[in-house]
Amino acid sequence: MNSRGFPIDNQLEVPRAEVARRLSDPSFLLVDTLPAESYAEGHVPGAHSLPLADIPIRARELLPDLGADIVVYCGGFTCPIAQQAAELLREHGYTHVRHYRGGLADWIEGGGLLEKLFVPAQTSSDPHAGPTGSEVIPVSRYHRWGILVLDFIERQSASNLFLTWLTMIVLCSIVYWLSGLLADPGLKEQGRPVDFGLRGVMTALYFSFVTATSVGYGDVVPMGAIRIVAVAEAITGLLIFGAVVAKLVSRRQDELMREIHRVTFEDRLDRVQTALHLVRSDIQAITALCDAGTVRLERVESRLESTTLVFVGELRAIHDLLYRPQWAPEEPVLQAILESLAASLRELDGLLTCLPPDWSASPAFEHALATVSRLADEICGKCVPYAYTQSLTVSMDRVQQLARAITGRMSRQ
């Protein structure tokens, strides 16, 4: 069983051959679950774009048939997004969802073509006119190897790259040293062949080191076929050493950026909680006046509109926090935000109860209220695409229940 309680069945996985064979089959719906930017850069031809975070919002629009043959994929074998998307689609009622586990990496490795979005050249006077289109781009064998090599280097740490660089130097020095056994020696020092003794070992190691960092100093030169090894070592050594230097230089910058993002994120969470407190206080004040019968509603209409609009803004921030998290808040903080949101919705529901049936709300207030109800209704334990603890799930479900109560009250007014 997986984290959401679905059985893990190998029969739910689709091989590359079936994907390639059924691309032109209209009953076969291939879904790319990566972000829209990745989809635009390249995707399996004919695949639909449905990012994981958009499934609760757009799935029924893009995939109206709950019994359709749906296959989801993401970046590759280690990418968890497609599996999460398959589970979420099943939770939303789709009965035939399978997983192409190899994803883009397996598709490219097999020589498959990629389709990318592009904006054609503008022919009208409007620079923003013209629909987007798509083109199929072939992926050559050299391109595939280049992608794999760059991806491997990107995944390695600076220490691993440095050890790889040193290992290459040692191995190449052994090749240079063993070349002294040949009739035509591979290295010459000051015009004389490098001997096969300890001095030859040190000379080969020295030549390998300076070759990996530059083009040599000229006192030791390669001869014959060893020149090919020296050129390959020089190119590879400079690439790896450059990657090591880049990672070391950017490490401190990455730490500073993470700290800035963390501080900004925490400040945003504080402002969300403060704004929700102010929204709740304003709604309570208006409700108290309404209950006492000492206020004319037309005088507080603008205040009610502004309070509801502020509520919409903070609810959007909470919605993005749950659907598109760029930073994971601590559970107590998220719990407090959800509880404050539920309390604000409860106060808003009480205010709607207090309003007279014949009161005519302004279009701005009705639109803001509908937006609050819609966004809050999308917050529930099974709606959000990420797993949370039981206590947070209960809080999310409470928010959804209050949102539906407000929706029902709006329909009756």
The domain ranges of the chain are 10-118, 156-224, 253-412
Q: Is the dihedral of CA 274, 277, 281, 282 positive or negative?
A: positive
How do strand 133-137 and strand 114-118 relate by DSSP bridges? antiparallel
What is the CA angle 73-78-79, rounded to 5?
Answer: 45
Q: Residues 307-340: pLDDT tens digits?
A: 888 998 899 888 888 877 666 778 888 899 999 9
| Spatial separation of the C-alpha atoms in residues 178 and 207, rounded to whole Å | 14
pLDDT at 344: 92
Edge-to-edge strand order for the sheet containing 192-193? 192-193, 187-189, 220-222
Distance of alpha carbon 27 from the chain centroid: 29
Phi and psi of 43, rounded to 5°? -150, 165
CA max distance for the chain: 109
Enumerate residue ranges in the chain where pLDDT < 70. 1-11, 118-155, 183-184, 215-217, 250-251, 254, 291-299, 325-327, 357-359, 412-413
Phi and psi of 188, rounded to 5°? -130, 135
* Residues contacting 150, CB < 8 A, separation 6+: none
How is residue 80 written in tokens? Answer: 């968890």
How is residue 216 written in tokens? Answer: 């040599």
C-alpha closest to that of 137 among 117, 163, 121, 165? 117
How is residue 316 written in tokens? Answer: 């959007």
Class of domain 10-118: alpha beta
* Residues contacting 351, CB < 8 A, separation 6+: 283, 286, 287, 290
| Spatial separation of the C-alpha atoms in residues 235 and 240, rounded to whole Å | 9
Class of domain 253-412: mainly alpha
| Spatial separation of the C-alpha atoms in residues 22 and 353, rounded to whole Å | 56
Residue with tokens 């959000």: 384
Secondary structure of the chain in HEC code, one letter for each residue:
CCCCCCCCCHHHECCHHHHHHCCCCCCEEEEECCCHHHHHHCECCCCEECCHHHHHHHHHHHCCCCCCEEEEECCCCCCCHHHHHHHHHHHCCCCCEEECCCHHHHHHHCCCCEEEEECCCCCCCCCCCCCCEEEEECCCHHHHHHHHHHHHHHHCCHHHHHHHHHHHHHHHHHHHHHHHHCCCCCEEECCEECCCCHHHHHHHHHHHHHHHHCCCCCCEEECCCHHHHHHHHHHHHHHHHHHHHHHHHHHHHHHHHHHHHHHHHHHHHHHHHHHHHHHHHHHHHHHHHHHHCCCCHHHHHHHHHHHHHHHHHHHHHHHHHHHCCCCCCCHHHHHHHHHHHHHHHHHHHHHHHHCCCCCCCCHHHHHHHHHHHHHHHCCCCCCCCCCCCHHHHHHHHHHHHHHHHHHHHHHHC
C-alpha closest to that of 342 among 378, 396, 297? 396
